[in-house]
Amino acid sequence: MAPMTASGLDTVREWLWAGEHARAAWAVARLLQEEPSDLHAFALCGCALLALDRREDGVAALRTCAEAATETGNLPLALSCLFSLSDAGEAVDELFRTAISEYHRGAPRVDPQRRLAPPLPRPLPEVPASVEAVEAASSAQAAARAAADRWAFERSTAIERPALPAIPFLGNLSAESMGKVLANAEAVVFGPGARIVEQGAEGDALFLVLCGWAKVVRQSRTGEEQVLRRLAPGSVVGEVALVTRAPRVASVVSETGVQALRLRREVVEELADREPALADELVEFCRQKMLANLLETSPVLRPLGEVERARVLGDFDRRVLPGGAVPIRQGEPSPGLFLIVVGQAEVLKREGDDGPLVRLAVLGPGDVFGEMSLVLEGPATATVQMVYDSALLVLPRERFLRAVEAHPGLREELERVAKEREEETRSLLGQASVAADDITLV
């Protein structure tokens, strides 16, 4: 995946965080003058005015921008403005209540099918080598007032209020729960290249990206890093930390500079102890997100069609196993087909009664096990032991037989995985591989 080209807005944000306030104010004023309806530029203009000690104008700009972003469907940007105002000592409770009333689970204007559109990249205007603070502040004041007038005109001439996008995580919460979460969250910033979460570290917080872009990267066993996806404003990072202490399976790196809301695990646990409904909502959100990740990453489910994948998943039970648990034991029939949602397992094989245990593989999220015993209709050829607490989907043996009958694509993928696993095992142990025709389903 090619590196991302930073927008002029991202550069302005980085200048603000680096203390280059006059330069940032001059540049964002030009961007806002070119397009007064650009709320991202409007928010940065307000922050620049605050940084240049033009408090009255900065507060007015951020308040107006928060109202406009809430009304037009950009809750992350609205929250960015509100937390900036709160950090400046401004009272924003009423604006928070308005945002919560518009975006909570079941709010009438929210369309569950609508998604938040990422900000459009804009080129950075040419900035003079030296910018006077007074000149920059004056330009930013004029641009902010023009943007406020533009928003007042658009609001007064609007025929109907637009539908709002569903916001991940926050949109899954009731109004009461969303209020408690926002009251206990903290706004944090990450410069370009900073790691928001680290692969292999214990999950200790959830992050909601308010502005800027981040990338998800995973390091292979050879040390190579692969970019898996990019995260736009509104994305949620680290939600698995809410339901498991499993190590992170990938890193998230700030690509353009990121502002995010951080909700620490201990805060979530304290809130959940006091509010059982909130705990249920958080667990349900995480469950849905983990299943969505599984559909994208599982080598067994990925080749199936979208409708067929959803039907297959409906046949699975959900189970949490502690570290050290042995769901499959060598020499015994597999009780079912297992898919790892979150966690890690070791595949161990013992040759002979007194032979040493050989670790054949380490399995992680998206991996399947138990398929060989089911496909070959014989005892398991290896033991599977959980490395730490893990969440899995389990398809019991009887249901497995019905599922492969109903979903031919699943049968084909399991045959392929079983064949690959058998060849890997025999190669590792120095045995001859079985013939492909020997692996069949009855």
Domains identified in the chain and CATH numbers: 8-167 (no CATH), 184-297 (2.60.120.10), 306-438 (2.60.120.10)
Residue 369 has pLDDT above 60, yes or no: yes
Residue 206 has pLDDT above 70, yes or no: yes
Computed over every residue of the chain, the mean pLDDT equals 84
pLDDT bucket at 403, cuts 50 / 70 / 90: confident
pLDDT higher at 193 or 220? 193
The pTM assigned to this predicted structure is 0.74
The whole-angstrom separation of Cα 334 and Cα 353 is: 20
Range among 219-233, 240-254, 317-331 with highest mean pLDDT value? 317-331
Sheet containing 251-254: give its strands across.
Answer: 195-197, 251-254, 214-219, 225-231
Residue 276 has pLDDT above 80, yes or no: no
The whole-angstrom separation of Cα 210 and Cα 9 is: 14
Q: How far is CA 381 from the centre of its chain?
A: 37
What pLDDT score does 437 carry?
33
What pLDDT score does 246 carry?
67
Cα torsion for 274, 280, 286, 290, to the nearest 10°? 150
Angle between the 55-72 and 93-103 helix axes, to the nearest 10 degrees?
A: 10
Taking residues 247-265, report their average pLDDT: 89
pLDDT higher at 147 or 442? 147
Task: Tally Cβ neighbours within 10 Å of residue 123.
Answer: 11
In terms of Cα–Cα distance, which of 238, 260, 216, 240 is closest to 76? 260
In terms of Cα–Cα distance, which of 189, 52, 46, 41 is closest to 125? 41
Q: Residue 152 corresponds to which tokens in the numbers above? A: 């007042």
Strands 164-165 and 110-111: parallel
Q: Is 259 helix (H, G, I), strand (E, B) or coil?
A: strand
Are the CB atoms for 205 and 263 separated by under 8 Å? yes
Residue 347 has pLDDT above 80, yes or no: yes
Residue 295 has pLDDT above 70, yes or no: no
Range among 132-146, 243-257, 423-437 with highest mean pLDDT value? 132-146
pLDDT higher at 272 or 359? 359
Quote the strand ranges of 257-344, DSSP E: 258-264, 317-321, 336-342
What pLDDT score does 248 carry?
80
What pLDDT score does 381 carry?
83
Taking residues 270-285, report their average pLDDT: 72
Going by the DSSP 8-state scheme, the letter that residue 379 receives in this structure is B
Give pLDDT tens digits for 2-59.
444 458 999 999 999 999 999 999 999 999 999 999 999 999 999 999 999 999 999 9
Give pLDDT tens digits for 69-128.
999 999 999 999 999 999 999 999 999 999 999 999 899 999 988 999 888 889 999 988
Give pLDDT tens digits for 136-177.
999 999 999 999 999 999 999 988 999 999 998 888 888 988
What pLDDT score does 63 carry?
98
> For 231-253, b where at least 16 C-beta lie within 10 A, e where not — what string?
bbbbbbbbbbbbbbebbbbbbbb
